[in-house]
Amino acid sequence: MKTKLTIFLASISIVFSHSIAQTKAKNGMVVSTSSIASDVGVDILKKGGNAVDAAVATAFALAVTHPSAGNIGGGGFMVFMNAEGNVTTFDFREKAPLKATNDMYLDEEGNLIRNENHLSIKAIGVPGTVAGLYKAHQKYGSLSWADLVQPAVDLASKGFTMNWTLYGPAERFRERQPDSFMGDYFADSQGELVQPGETWTQSALGQTLAAIRDKGHDGFYKGDVAKKIASYMKKNGGLITKQDLAKYEAIEREPLKGTYKDYEIYSMPPPSSGGVALIEMMNLMELADFEELEFNSTKYVHFVAEAMRRAFADRAEHLGDPDFNPEMPVNRLLSKDHAKNRFGEIDMQRASISDSSRFGQLYDGNSTTHFSVMDKNGNAVSLTYTLEYGYGSRLGSEELGFIFNNEMGDFNPVPGVTTSRGQIGTKPNLIEPEKRMLSSMTPTIVAKDGKPYLVIGSPGGRTIINTVFQTVLNVLEFDMEIHRAIEVMKIHHQWLPDRIIYERDMLSPDTRKALEAMGHTLSDRSRLGVLMGIRYDAENGIMVGASDSSSGEGKASGY
Ligand code: GLY
C-alpha cells in the first residue's frame, strides 16, 4: 500500500498537467497523432530507452494504429539531436525501382495517363521505413530492437479498440472499393467491418512485424517478406523486385543548418525540400521589421506569402535527389545573401506575380504523419514519414497486411512539361532508376544555447514546409507557447498555383479584402497542418508538448 501511494505521489509530482492544449513533463515526452502510439513511446522511455528507441517503437506502433500514414510500406526522414547538441539525420525516402523510366506514366502521344503516377501499382516506390528505423537504432539506440518492435506486434496481433477516426475511412473503403484489399482492410475474420468500440486485430500485419522484430532490416528486405512483396508485384504488374528490396539502404546525412537570431535551426537536406525552404524563409524573416509586421496583420500575411512564393520557386527550379543532382545550389539558397536578394524583390504594397511559364506543381499527397520525442537526458528526435496519399496506393497483399505507398507521384511525371495549373517538368526531380523523389517533409529541431529547444513537424504535402515555418516563427519571433503556435492562423502559398490558402474563419474578412486589393488571390481550407511539437523550458527543466487539435486521436504523452 505504502509503495503504491509513493508511486502515485511520485507520478503526480512529475506529470504537471495533461490537458488538450498541452502536456508538461520532466522525464520524457512523445507527441504523435495516435494516443496509443505516444503511450508506446513513453513506455519505452520509462524502461530506460532513449529518444531514438522511443521513436522506433512509436513509428512501428503508428504503422498499426494510424495506417493512413503510419507505415512500414512507405518512407520518411528523421532528425536526431543529442543532449550535447550534435545533430544527424536519416533519409529513408522511397526509391524508384530499377525498372522505372522517366516516361513510365506517359501514353504513346507523350501525355500523362490519368492517375497512373498516383493510384496504380506502378506508383509504388521501394519502401524505406524499416531500413531507416533499423539504421538509426543500430547507431544510436540503447534497448534491444526486438523490445521496440514488440509493442507493434502486440497491437496488431492482439488488437486495439476501433475508433471513429478509423471507422469513417473503413466505411468509405467498404462502400467504394468492395472486394479489394482496402475494402476488407478493417474487417474481422468473418469479413464484417469492425465497429467503433470493438477490438480490431491485424494478424497478417502482426506476422510481418514479427519477422522484422526477429530479423531486423533483413526481415523486410530479404527472406519471406521480400519474396511475398516481389511475387505480389509480379502478379499485379508492379515493378519492384527482390533485387530492388535487397539493394535498398537508408542513408545517414548531414543536417541542414540555419540560424534565426540566437537560435540554430536543423532540418532535413534533400531529397527533402523542407529544410532548404524553411531556412530560406527564416532568413527572409530575419530581415523583416516585426514592429511593422504585427502577427496576422495584412502586412504580415503579405510578407509571409511573398517569402513562401520565392522559396517554392527555388524549390521547383533546383531541388531533387542529391545523389543524382550533385550541382544543386543548396549552400547558395541557404545563404543570408540569397535572402537579401530575395528581400529586395518584395514590394510591400503589391503581390508579385508567379511566372507560370516556368515551373509549378499542383498535385500533392497530404497524408503523412509527424511525431516529436524528447528523453530525460534532453536527446530529441523529430520524425516525419509517409505513404503519400491517405492509405497510400490503397494496395497491399493480404498475406503481408500492410499498405504500399504511392510515392512515385512525388516525381515530376512529364519531362520538360510544366503547366500553369501546376505540373513540373524540371530535370532535378525526373524519374530515374534508384532515385529518391523530392519531398516536402520538414522534421525540424531548433537549438538554443546549443541544446534542443523546439522539436516540430507536420503532415500536409507541400503545406508541411509552410506550417512548420510559421510554427517555428511563432515560437522564435512571437514567443508563443507551443500549443498556441500550433493552433493560430496559418497560410500557404506554393508559388503555383498563384494564390494564398488561409485557414477558414481564422483570417478576418477585412484582411482578406486588403490582401485582394494588393493583388493576391485567396482561397480557404478548413485547416492547414497537423503539427506535433515539444518546446523545452531549460530554466525549469520542463518539456511542454502539444498535439494539433485537428488530429482526432493525437496526444502529447509525458511522464
Ligand atoms: N509525400 C509527401 C512528401 O513527401 O512531401
| Tens digits of residue pLDDT in 447-461 | 999 999 999 999 999
> Which residues are CB-contacts of 521 (< 8 A; sequence separation ≥ 6)?
498, 499, 500
Candidate from 119, 129, 361, 368 with most ligand 1 atoms within 8 A of CB, to mutate: 368
Q: Identify the pLDDT of residue 422.
A: 58
Reference 158, options 191, 201, 209; nearest CA is 201
Q: Using CA positions, which residue lies closest to atom 4 of ligand 1?
A: 439
How far, in Å, from the CA of 223 to the mean position of ligand 1? 29
State residue 522 phi and psi, 5-degree precision.
-125, 145
Mean pLDDT, rounded, for 67-73: 98
What are the residues facing 341 on neighbouring strands? none
Cβ of 461 closer than 6 Å to ligand 1, yes or no, is yes
| Tens digits of residue pLDDT in 460-471 | 999 999 999 999
How far, in Å, from the CA of 407 to the mean position of ligand 1? 7
Q: Identify the pLDDT of residue 420.
A: 61
Residue 510 has pLDDT above 90, yes or no: yes
Candidates 89, 241, 368, 467; catalytic one: 368
State residue 276 phi and psi, 5-degree precision.
-60, -50
How far, in Å, from the CA of 93 to the mean position of ligand 1? 9
User: Which atom of ligand 1 is least distant from the CA of 366?
Assistant: 2
Do the Cβ atoms of 39 and 47 come closer than 8 Å? no
| Tens digits of residue pLDDT in 309-368 | 999 999 989 999 999 999 999 999 999 999 999 999 999 999 998 864 443 344 455 579
Residue 214 has pLDDT above 90, yes or no: yes
Candidate from 362, 435, 441, 492 with most ligand 1 atoms within 8 A of CB, to mutate: 441
Reference 552, options 66, 70, 200, 59; nearest CA is 66
Candidate from 312, 321, 388, 412 with most ligand 1 atoms within 8 A of CB, to mutate: 388
Q: Identify the pLDDT of residue 14.
A: 42
Q: Using CA positions, which residue lies closest to atom 1 of ligand 1?
A: 388
| Tens digits of residue pLDDT in 152-171 | 999 999 999 999 999 999 99
Residues 117, 133: Cα–Cα separation, whole Å: 27
Cβ of 321 closer than 6 Å to ligand 1, yes or no, is no
Domains and CATH numbers, the chain: 28-252+365-429 (no CATH), 253-357+454-534 (1.10.246.130)
| Tens digits of residue pLDDT in 120-155 | 999 999 999 999 999 999 999 999 999 999 999 999
Residues 320, 429: Cα–Cα separation, whole Å: 5
Residue 269 has pLDDT above 80, yes or no: yes
How far, in Å, from the CA of 471 to the mean position of ligand 1? 19
Q: Has 467 been annotated as catalytic?
A: no
Residue 503 has pLDDT above 70, yes or no: yes
Residue 262 has pLDDT above 50, yes or no: yes
Percent of the chain with pLDDT over 70: 93
Q: Identify the pLDDT of residue 21.
A: 73
Residue labelled with grid coordinates 543532449:
83
Cβ of 388 closer than 6 Å to ligand 1, yes or no, is yes
How far, in Å, from the CA of 291 to the mean position of ligand 1? 35
Cβ of 409 closer than 6 Å to ligand 1, yes or no, is no
Whether pTM exceeds 0.75: yes
Give the 3-state DSSP-derived string for 460-516, with helices as H, strands as E and coil as C.
CCCHHHHHHHHHHHHHHCCCCCHHHHHHCCCEECCCCCCCEEEECCCCCHHHHHHHH
Mean pLDDT, rounded, for 495-518: 95
Q: Is 80 helix (H, G, I), strand (E, B) or coil?
A: strand
> Which residues are CB-contacts of 303 (< 8 A; sequence separation ≥ 6)?
288, 293, 346, 348
Residue 204 pLDDT level (bands cut at 50, 70, 90): very high
How far, in Å, from the CA of 276 to the mean position of ligand 1? 15
Mean pLDDT, rounded, for 256-265: 98
| Tens digits of residue pLDDT in 80-106 | 999 999 999 999 999 999 999 999 999
In sign, the C-alpha dihedral spanning 448, 454, 459, 465 is: negative
